[in-house]
Structure 1
Amino acid sequence: MSDAVDSTVVGFSETEERQELRKQVFKLAGTFGREYFTAQARGGGKTTDLWMAVAKAGYLGINIPEEYGGGGGGIGDVAAVCEELAAQGCPLLLMVVSPAICGTVIAKYGTEEQKQKWLPGLCDGTGTMAFGITEPDAGTNTHNITTTARRDGDEWVLTGRKIWVSGIDEAANVLIVARTEDERTGKLKPCLFVVPTDAEGFEANPIPMEIVSPEKQFTLFIDDVRLPADALVGDENGGLSQLFAGLNPERIMAASFSTGLARHALAKAASYAKEREVFGQPIGGHQAIAHPLAQSHIEIEMARLMTQKAAALYEAGDEMAAGEAANMAKYAAAEAACDTVDRAVQTHGGNGISQEYGMAGLLVAARAGRIAPVSREMILNFVAMHSLGLPKSY
């Protein structure tokens, strides 16, 4: 057997362009850092300066076609941006929502007029867009959402309620998942509408949160909000395929969000373990400290590799395989993040629960990855049914 390696077969390294992108985003985020992020969060401020810096550098809309002001890259590129921001302690949740979900859906299914109207703002940071799908009484069961859209002449009228919507206070518009009646069958079908956040009949109430983040969560009340005909994105009869064009990228981005947080926590823990001395040597020399951190490094790298696979499959247009991989990547990354942050806190001992070292604040942020944008239990249901062929359990 030859010792030579065919480089065309080995696909485990990202392109030089992607690696350079990561390097530059990490460098940019480092000029802000975790202290900036937590200071803004605790002081009631926003990370607008960071958001606009990312936009100015051309990273915000890197997945959006060049003709609309984007970078012409893929979901793997914007996921890399998201991960590197989080790795510097600046996880921007709106990166998951605005360019990845909304940008992808509009770029893929929007009319030319809609693309010209909304995509440039997503790229330059001036037209941030939120995403509303979850409802209080539907939860994970998207088929049971009750927000409806009905025609009234040349307009649409939306009525309903959404919960756990990120960044409404920073977004000019929100992409709402509603249901319309099929004229042929009378059944309700999912459709996507761009709703201005200052529309009459639209109300957003903040949800008090324990998580340390400048990005807030909201409950939305949509009371007979009137929209023009072109507020509908995509084909009215497009069904779930249009919705999942945004949900698979959402899972890939969520995985990147989690792996970035995990990398940040692990780097802090490893640094502390090298410096903190107990019993005459750095605590990192004790296996009780070293082994858990080494285990986290392995788990993070496995999650990152799965995320890269999911992004590659999505960009190749293999939606079925991408859906499976995106779910598994999101699961693996959330588990790695939760375990890593817990180990990082333990490594710091009592300092791990102080504000000075910034570890404890990561606990809730990492834990959210097991819940949103889809729970770990629903991912296990998906894998059991679709990957293993087991009977449907829900």
Structure 2
Amino acid sequence: MDFVESDERRALRKAVADFASGYGHEYFVAKARAGEKTDELWAAAGELGYLGVAVPAEYGGGGGGIGDLAAVCEELAAAGCPMLLMVVSPAICATVIARYGTAEQKRRWLPGFADGTTKMAFAITEPDAGSNSHKLATAIRRDGDDWVLSGGKYYISGVDEVAAVLVVARHVDSAGQRLMPSLMIVPTDAPGFTYQHIPMEVVSPEKQFTCFFDDVRLPPDALVGAEDAGLAQLFAGLNPERIMAASFATGMARRALDQATDYARTRAVWGTPIGAHQGIAHPLAQCAIQVELARLMTQKAAALYDAGEDRAAGEAANMAKYAAGEAVAAAVDQAIQVHGGNGLSAEYGLGALLAASRLSRIAPVSREMILNFVAQHTLGLPRSY
């Protein structure tokens, strides 16, 4: 087992960090507060191949794994540009299509994922289902050769800036019985598809939406993979999502810690830098340990996924997501505390990280559901819910 990243991965990290430093936190927050998108950043990252590092080479991508894409996501976040759609579009959607799509679907979508010219959202959460994917009410049924989609989704990221949404829906047979869930590609301009913005306190250019599907008619090739594949096919996208969410969180945590330690080294009270006091130094050191442990678990999860060890990768991805969520929440909180009143001033920008860091304990899967998973599947305890 190698605990050191490859030379290629480390070179990728450095290249992305250097690239992202030309944009940074000020650019990202200014765009968010102005209600604008980070289109320039996304386009440049796509042109340089960073968004497509995990897309197969035959479709214009880098031919790497989810670990490479997670490294890109982490370095962007560490530079102050945590792009949420990276967790969704090139990670979930591109991965699912590359793994289960038809030859035509791959030709249609993967080159755009590779160069960043295509963005796709992912829709699974529903108001009345929450974390219980078995209660999904959004339905898909046959009508001749076409599909007809009905229902709704909740808290779907970036719908206003994507070409299509990969929707999780349950099949309904002729008797009205709900069968296994499937994945459908739904263009955002499809008749009957509407969406409504959900105002959020998170400072981000990427917005959240409620989606409505009013008998949206889709062609036969809207279905990705087998219609009876069920949850196994779905988790081909959800495990990368957890890995990417963990990298998203550890990147933000690294930024907060860097800022806090810089401040603690230079801020002097009574002639001594505040970082010389254990009351400041020890909590920051504890946060640094948490972040590094989360990063290590994330790299393990990515390595298992890229090796095709889906079951082990699922366990590791959940653990990584949990660890990263706890680490970033602690790191941002401590960074604000170190700064005192400056921690919530616009000048230092840590307040903008506060809601985003707290969100990492909730989405895309809550810490409580991860604890349920580990208790049941890792420890073999009775199911508690």
User: Does the alignment reach a TM-score above 0.5?
Assistant: yes
Other-structure match for 1:3: none
**Is residue 182–residue 189 contact of structure 1 (8 Å, CA) maintained in 2?**
no
1:199 equivalenced with 2:190 (yes/no): yes
**Whole-Å separation in 1 of the counterparts to 2:178 and 2:149:** 17
1:148 equivalenced with 2:139 (yes/no): yes
Equivalent AA in structure 2 for residue 198 of structure 1: D
SS at match of 1:295: helix
Q: CA deviation at 1:186?
A: 4.6
Other-structure match for 1:385: 376
The CA RMSD over aligned residues, in Å, is 1.2
SS at match of 2:88: helix
- Describe the superposition over 1:46-93 as per-residue Cα deviations: whole angstroms up to 9, x where unpaired: 101000111011010110101111110000000000000000010000
Q: CA deviation at 1:120?
A: 1.0
Equivalent AA in structure 2 for residue 167 of structure 1: G
Equivalent AA in structure 1 for residue 335 of structure 2: A
Equivalent of residue 219 in structure 2, options 219, 223, 228? 228
Equivalent of residue 129 in structure 1, options 115, 120, 123? 120
Other-structure match for 1:32: 23
1:81-230 paired onto structure 2 within 5 Å = 81-181=72-172, 186-230=177-221
Quote the sequence identity (%): 67
1:80 equivalenced with 2:52 (yes/no): no
SS at match of 1:242: helix
Q: CA deviation at 1:377?
A: 0.2
1:355 equivalenced with 2:335 (yes/no): no
**Is residue 141–residue 173 contact of structure 2 (8 Å, CA) maintained in 1?**
no
**Any gaps of 5 or more consecutive residues in structure 2?**
none
**Whole-Å separation in 2 of the counterparts to 1:118 and 1:224:** 24
**Is residue 243–residue 320 contact of structure 2 (8 Å, CA) maintained in 1?**
yes
**Whole-Å separation in 2 of the counterparts to 1:237 and 1:211:** 37
Q: CA deviation at 1:181?
A: 3.2
Equivalent of residue 255 in structure 1, options 223, 229, 246? 246
1:281 equivalenced with 2:279 (yes/no): no
**Whole-Å separation in 2 of the counterparts to 1:319 and 1:183:** 34
SS at match of 2:252: helix
Q: CA deviation at 1:123?
A: 1.6
**Whole-Å separation in 2 of the counterparts to 1:358 and 1:48:** 21
Distance 1:368-1:125 versus aligned 2 partners, 3 A rule: same
SS at match of 2:42: helix
Q: CA deviation at 1:275?
A: 1.1
- Describe the superposition over 1:129-148 as per-residue Cα deviations: whole angstroms up to 9, x where unpaired: 00000000000000101000
**Whole-Å separation in 2 of the counterparts to 1:349 and 1:109:** 51
Which has the larger displacement, 121-130 or 298-307? 121-130
Equivalent AA in structure 1 for residue 267 of structure 2: R
SS at match of 1:45: coil
Equivalent of residue 8 in structure 2, options 4, 17, 21? 17
**Whole-Å separation in 1 of the counterparts to 2:58 and 2:314:** 28
Q: CA deviation at 1:343?
A: 0.3
SS at match of 1:179: strand
TM-score by length of 1: 0.96
**Any gaps of 5 or more consecutive residues in structure 1?**
1-8
Equivalent of residue 50 in structure 2, options 59, 84, 95? 59
**Whole-Å separation in 1 of the counterparts to 2:114 and 2:209:** 24
Equivalent AA in structure 2 for residue 16 of structure 1: D
SS at match of 1:180: strand
**Whole-Å separation in 2 of the counterparts to 1:281 and 1:21:** 39
**Is residue 42–residue 116 contact of structure 2 (8 Å, CA) maintained in 1?**
yes
**Whole-Å separation in 2 of the counterparts to 1:128 and 1:186:** 33
Other-structure match for 1:5: none
- Describe the superposition over 1:328-368 as per-residue Cα deviations: whole angstroms up to 9, x where unpaired: 00000000000000000001000001111001111100000
**Whole-Å separation in 2 of the counterparts to 1:42 and 1:316:** 41
Q: CA deviation at 1:239?
A: 1.3
**Whole-Å separation in 2 of the counterparts to 1:373 and 1:261:** 16
**Whole-Å separation in 1 of the counterparts to 2:16 and 2:63:** 17
> Runs in 1 of length 4+ with deviation above 6 angstroms?
none
Equivalent AA in structure 1 for residue 380 of structure 2: G
Distance 1:320-1:183 versus aligned 2 partners, 3 A rule: farther
Paired residues in the alignment total 385
Q: CA deviation at 1:241?
A: 1.0
**Whole-Å separation in 1 of the counterparts to 2:347 and 2:178:** 55
**Whole-Å separation in 1 of the counterparts to 2:48 and 2:295:** 24
